[in-house]
Amino acid sequence: MNALMGPTGSGKSSLLDVLAGRKDPRFLSGKVLIDGRPQPKNFKCISGYVVQDDIVMGTLTVRENLSFSAALRMTMHCTTEERNQKVNDIIDELGLNAVADSKVRKCL
């Protein structure tokens, strides 16, 4: 795990957005290199990106939120069963079985 730290406005989020492919490449110049090599095609699969704000829907359950995210992030070649298994694996890994079918209910 790595941490990217710096003062407000120093470009931390911009750098991470470029690495994650979240910036429109038409407005960028230069090359993205990872360990001196072009960014691998599976970079999104071997890296993680956590946004500053919550991105869960309070009206959905924990399982539904994870399923929604899996549907957006996993390749189209994955079957529904594979996506569901991944969601269940994550729920197990995070110890969320007791609340998996509870609504998230975001607080303001």
Which DSSP symbol is given to 23? S
pLDDT at residue 54, as a whole number: 66
Q: Which helix (H) or strand (E) holds 78?
A: none
> Over 70: is that where the pLDDT of 83 sits?
yes
Residue 108 pLDDT > 60: no
Q: What percent of the chain has pLDDT over 90?
A: 41
Q: Across residues 57-73, what is the average pLDDT? A: 90
Number of other CB atoms surrounding residue 69 within 10 Å: 15
Kind plus residue range of the DSSP H or E element containing 16: helix 12-19
Q: Do 39 and 88 fall within a single domain?
A: no
Are 17 and 30 members of one domain?
yes
Regarding whether 36 and 73 lie in a shared domain, the answer is: no
| pLDDT of res. 62 | 95
What local confidence, expressed as pLDDT, does residue 49 receive? Answer: 76
Instruction: Kindly report the pTM of this predicted structure.
Output: 0.52
Pair 29, 71 in one domain? no
CA distances from 46 to 29, 40, 41, 63 (A): 24, 9, 10, 23
- 74/87 Cα distance (integer angstroms): 11
Q: Are residues 107 and 58 in the same domain?
A: yes
pLDDT digits (tens, 9 = 90+) for 6-55: 999 999 988 988 888 888 888 899 988 888 999 888 887 788 777 766 67
* Residues 33 and 4 occupy one common structural domain: yes
| Domains of the chain: total | 2
Asked if 91 and 66 touch (Cβ cutoff 8 Å), the reply is yes
98 and 62 fall within a common domain = yes
- Residues of the domain holding 28: 1-52
Same domain for 70 and 23, yes or no, is no
Residues 41 and 66 in one domain: no
